Structure 1
């Protein structure tokens, strides 16, 4: 028999925490953006203003990650499970990485290209800059929310009492999120998200949830028109042809791919310099580094797995914890 579900208050509070971090970040970005010019936007974002925005977003990511372990421990304690984690999360490991796994600096330069494109299309400088600010706000908010969720899932893995999570949706929300509200997944199952998604996880102790529909069951119950509206025509065609729903919906695209552990896996080059936590561990273990043209520090020649790839390929929690330690997300 399924245990009574805990209230979603903790998840809602965590959502508000991330939202507060994001609001403060966007306010700072707006202040910086007001000092920039459409005519010099590329130079501005390659210079001190761009560095200030990147630093602010990294700080927001780390702050979001810092709250993860307390959030998971609180959820476990509320359900009568041990609140003591098996490993400690390294919040700094979640900073500086874009939602697509690439360099955050690259993502946060894209608004400059957007401004230039709008100018070329005939928009006024003011219109182009407003659009560029909207782009920057979206990228920044998504980067912070994604870092928080990734840290939450890592925290769940480090808490053996946690076996699942429930998706908590706070309105307003898009149809992709609404159809998944209240659904439960294994603690290591990837979180379906998209740019600007602010849905939250609620860590659960429950071991069974047979009565809860899976994403595939939800998709099967939808009309063809609703499928095409929610997943797009090409997305629904791909799912009908056998594609995984999570891979179609998941907003994390564009990561580089490396052949590791006998398969092609998504990796990131971020936080792999000798000065990073992961890089320092790798250096002490005899790892190799190489200078990358145009970059200040040498980077590891060994790809770094993203947390969601670790959850996907590892067979059990012990292996997940081993890989999370190896790649510098926990200690």
Structure 2
């Protein structure tokens, strides 16, 4: 039987592959944008990307129930669920609740703003493409992570989770990882974050702890300087407390929650699962009721 960490690692790698495929197709479509008709040409390409990205979100979210069952089984916990995740409800919508098409139009806006500020068309398009890559990867990862938390909420035996680093991770993630969080706690992340939930009961969480200093020491000096900044890495190597060097909340957000609510004026975003969990305030029965009401659970 695979170990808890092996199950979580495979889950994270599979989700990353979905994101990579979607990002590759997004880059291919972006390369077809006409520099003389940026907005109009991107609008004509958006429907194809929207279909592909919605499919990638659905695939990422659809793994949640089987992942929760496997990860609980690896801890000898019977995975009894009071509902199943509706993957379709987490697809075609951005992680902050706005329409996904609205979000995917932003790279064109960024490109046009860049040109207005003096960038060449090629430079501005490159910036827009980089932004699109980040958006696509983040939306696939967020759909999967939010689905994991919905599936965890539907399994009362999963009382909390540990955040696991996947591969080489940034300073913020290193500081947030390895802690045990309550089942309803929002999963703070930044764009392109690859960290993953590991639902774990309290007595097994210690086996999954990540020591930020040990992680720092496992990196090469070049990686330390790149991920923690040169000055920050030097301070940590000199004995400074890593938590004081790193501002762990800088640039992180909780999708669908109040830390991450960027919507077009006049358009009310959809209520997303993490905000539902916040509103339920630790009441699991109420959280399940609301998730069913908004069709995230069936």
Deviations 1:179-203 (A, max 9, x none): 1121111111111111111110111
Q: CA deviation at 1:7?
A: 3.5
- 1:241 maps to which residue? none
Q: In structure 1, what is the Cα distance between the partners aligned to 2:184 and 2:254?
A: 17
SS state of the match for residue 330, structure 1?
Answer: coil
- 2:245 maps to which residue? 226
SS state of the match for residue 36, structure 2?
Answer: helix
Q: In structure 2, what is the Cα distance between the partners aligned to 1:224 and 1:74?
A: 33
- 1:35 maps to which residue? 32
More helix by share: 2
Q: Would you say the 8 A contact 1:163–1:186 is kept in 2?
A: yes
- 2:148 maps to which residue? 152
Q: In structure 2, what is the Cα distance between the partners aligned to 1:231 and 1:309?
A: 18
- 1:10 counterpart (7, 10, 20): 7
User: Which 4+ runs in 1 deviate beyond 6 A?
Assistant: 208-213
User: Normalized against structure 2, the TM-score is what?
Assistant: 0.79
Q: In structure 1, what is the Cα distance between the partners aligned to 2:60 and 2:4?
A: 22
SS state of the match for residue 172, structure 1?
Answer: coil
- 1:259 maps to which residue? none
- 2:291 counterpart (324, 327, 331): 324
- 1:195 counterpart (184, 191, 194): 191
- 2:275 maps to which residue? 309
Q: In structure 2, what is the Cα distance between the partners aligned to 1:227 and 1:30?
A: 33
Q: CA deviation at 1:328?
A: 0.5
Q: In structure 2, what is the Cα distance between the partners aligned to 1:125 and 1:309?
A: 39
Q: Would you say the 8 A contact 1:75–1:202 is kept in 2?
A: yes
Bigger relative contact order (CA 8 A; separation at least 6): 2
Q: In structure 2, what is the Cα distance between the partners aligned to 1:143 and 1:223?
A: 30
- Mean Cα deviation higher: 145-154 or 313-322: 313-322
Q: CA 1:130 to 1:249, structure 2 compared with 1: closer, same or farther past 3 Å?
A: closer
Q: CA 1:164 to 1:224, structure 2 compared with 1: closer, same or farther past 3 Å?
A: closer
Q: CA deviation at 1:210?
A: 9.4
Structure 1: unaligned runs, 5 residues or longer: 1-5, 214-220, 233-247, 257-266, 271-304
Deviations 1:37-59 (A, max 9, x none): 22212112322x01111221111
Deviations 1:140-183 (A, max 9, x none): 11111111100000000111221111101123211110111211
Question: How much is the aligned-residue C-alpha RMSD, in angstroms?
Answer: 2.6
- 1:91 maps to which residue? 87
More strand by share: 1
Matched, 1:44 2:63: no
Q: Would you say the 8 A contact 2:68–2:148 is kept in 1?
A: yes
SS state of the match for residue 79, structure 2?
Answer: coil
Q: In structure 1, what is the Cα distance between the partners aligned to 2:49 and 2:145?
A: 21
Q: Would you say the 8 A contact 1:268–1:306 is kept in 2?
A: no
Q: Would you say the 8 A contact 1:38–1:115 is kept in 2?
A: no
Q: CA 1:98 to 1:180, structure 2 compared with 1: closer, same or farther past 3 Å?
A: same
